[in-house]
Amino acid sequence: MLSAEDLADLLHSYNPKSNRAMIIAAYNYGQQKHEGQFRKSGEPYFTHPVAVAQILAEQKLDDATIITALLHDTIEDTGSTKQEVGELFTPEIADLVDGVTKLTNMQLSSAETKEAENMRKLFLAIAQDIRVILVKLADRLHNMKTIKSMKPEKQAQKARETMDIFAPLAGRMGMQSMREELEDLSFRVLNPEARNSIIRRFVNLQRETGDVIERITGDMNLELEKAGIKAKVLGRAKKPYSAWRKMQEKELTFSRLSDVYGFRLICETEAECYRILGVIHQRWRAVPGRFKDYISQPKSNGYRSIHTTVSGRDGKRVEVQIRTYEMHEVAESGVAAHWSYRDGIRSKNRFTVDPVQWITKLISEFDSEDDHDAFLEAVKLEMYADQVFCFTPKGDVLKFPKGATPIDFAYAIHTRLVGDVCVGAKVDGLRVPLWTRLRNGQSVEIITAVGQQPQATWLEMAVTGKAKTAIRRALRKADRNRHIVMGQELLRAAFDHYDKKLTDKLIESAAKKLRIKSGNELLAQLGSAEVATRDVIKMLFPEIAADQRPEVDQKRAVIGLAPGQNFDRQSCCEPLPGDRIAGIALPGKGVAVHAIHCPELLRYEHLNEAWIDLHWHSGKHAAIYPVTLEVTISNDAGVLGRVCTLIGSLGANISDLNFVDRKPDFYKIELSIELSDVEHLLNVHTRLEAESEVAMVKRLRRPGD
């Protein structure tokens, strides 16, 4: 563990203006507060904050960030308070420590809805001060390095959270080295066998081929020297997790894995980058389709580099990245480079990108979104985004995540004027399906048509959060309009059945009595089967509900029950008066009434004492027994309304309606209809089958429900 003086010296080495006294005071304060606390490994707890501070000091961050690292657990784990930290140090440091404490208390990998809410809070905290997440990432890095002292289940939970959230977040913020280290540490916990297998294969490969990295590095230095270019050549093998991920994505064996080795060539100027590219391609054969110029088209996190893959010694492919020293600093440290210090002042790196702009845009874009899963999906897509650059017909460049389609392109241009009314696309002048995956450098033209509306299938095609959110919003609006029309038809049919006239005033009155905010909302809930028409009728016309008392007393509808016994008509077979029935009496559960042919009765064959011989009362029953019908109708205007009206005219009431399948030409729906007996069912069934727009009608029975 670094001493207070050693840590102060480390800061002074890159920031001579560092407040040495405050650094040492913070060190001593943290050590005092954590006195007597120990980590799971048995080490004094304060070794952890010091290690986090050291990680950040190696990134050359400012005094406030280092002090926050030293104190980041004091408010949570000791008697310290935000006010006390502010008084002893500065309000800025107090805010930072409090921010890190709040992040620590978020259970980022909990249930989906809570996870989405916590992710919102996470991004809001980052937007307030980016240094909060820098401390949190360093905290997580050290915890992952020392994770072996935790229980196995806790290790797995932390590793999954790191792999799903913290590693991609570090990558999205340009901190590639930290991302790779977090991924590999998580990989070691989640799949140690796979990681060890990859490492063994690397060892075997080196034994078979010798030190390929040293030989290729020498070859590259020789070629650069011939061309008179000064550059640093760094070579390395892929990280185990990087190799494993590529094997899984491409479904490759290790022996077929290309570009196992990667080389970085770092020079002074952008012009030299392109000169080096020429030297590399002259000496080695370039692999087609493996060239990307992130200098002319930088990634959104500020990453700049030229990527090319060439066939090196013995035909082995190697990846080459060419960049300047400034670009390399951003590639490795990302946003940390934006906050790093040299000679007492913030270092100026023109390539750093402050991610606050991206985070603020993400929050504003999805903050009004009620769908928590949609927000979470959008966040993860944004964090994992691998950029693709495409051109508009005017030559403007738009950036998309890898796998984006013309649907994403359309919504990137304009939601209402282009995305919602998109009917097709041309890529490089050729008409393509909307599910086509876009590639770098393509020119995309969107074809629109008046009257077009977003389709549900677009959700499967879209990749960007913006497109998915806009499509979901449009679909909800369209569904609401259809539900309102459907609800109007259902309610009108119910009113006709009772010889009542439906008016807007009655609809508004019913909505008010049912505590629904508006008449349209009531109709929408009727159309989506959230409210039953009978509830509206009973609310508006209590006298009708009173008149509908069954002529056969409900308690006497079934004959064969003992005094005081109640019966329960089972939903698996939905027996009607006129059906042959049997009863099953189980202790404490009353008598379950089944149709005699119901397969569920087989479960009780061995319980002879449970069987009761029952039959329906022969009198006239009221239409109160729900039966489910599956009806297939043509998808034409007004058909559903006519079907509902017909059912109402036959003295039956529709208590529930559900769309099972929607096709361009037919709808399949399930109707729950309240009937009086088998004869009533036969009458409704026959009349429906006689309708030309009705393709099929059948009674549904659900054994096992």
Residues with catalytic function: 76-77
Distance CA 110, CA 378 (A): 17
| Among 632, 629, 679, 636, residue whose Cα is nearest residue 654 | 629
Tokens of 99: 């921010």
Distance CA 640, CA 486 (A): 8
Distance CA 408, CA 423 (A): 13
Please give, one letter per residue, the 3-state secondary structure of 564-617. Answer: CCCEEECCCCCCCECECEEEEECCCCCEEEEECCCHHHHHHCCCHHHEEECEEC
Distance CA 261, CA 202 (A): 10
Tokens of 356: 């606050």
**Cβ atoms 63, 15 nearer than 8 A:** yes
Dihedral Cα 139, 140, 145, 151, nearest 10 deg: 120
- The full DSSP string for 165-205 is IIHHHHHHTT-HHHHHHHHHHHHHHH-HHHHHHHHHHHHHH
Element (H, E) at 319: strand 317-324
Hey, CA dihedral for 180, 186, 191, 193, is it positive or negative? positive
Q: What does the radius of gyration of the chain's CA atoms come to, in whole angstroms?
A: 35
**Cβ atoms 671, 681 nearer than 8 A:** no
Q: What are phi and psi of 342, to 5 degrees?
A: -140, 130
Contacts of 445 (CB under 8 A, 6+ apart): 392, 393, 425, 426, 427, 429
Chain centroid, CA 515 distance in Å: 34
The CB-side HSE value for 562 (13 A sphere, CA atoms) comes to 8
Tokens of 363: 């929050």
| Among 555, 593, 692, residue whose Cα is nearest residue 633 | 692
Tokens of 449: 């048509």
Task: Report strand pairing: 292-293 vs 317-324.
Answer: unpaired
Distance CA 669, CA 655 (A): 13
**Cβ atoms 620, 628 nearer than 8 A:** no
Hey, CA dihedral for 34, 37, 39, 41, is it positive or negative? positive
Residue 332's CB is within 10 A of a number of other CB atoms, namely: 17
Listing from the earlier edge strand, what are the strands of the sheet with 625-634?
Answer: 653-662, 666-675, 625-634, 694-699
Helices 240-250/192-209 angle, 10° precision: 100
Q: What are phi and psi of 42, to 5 degrees?
A: 95, -10
> Helix, strand or coil for residue 303?
coil
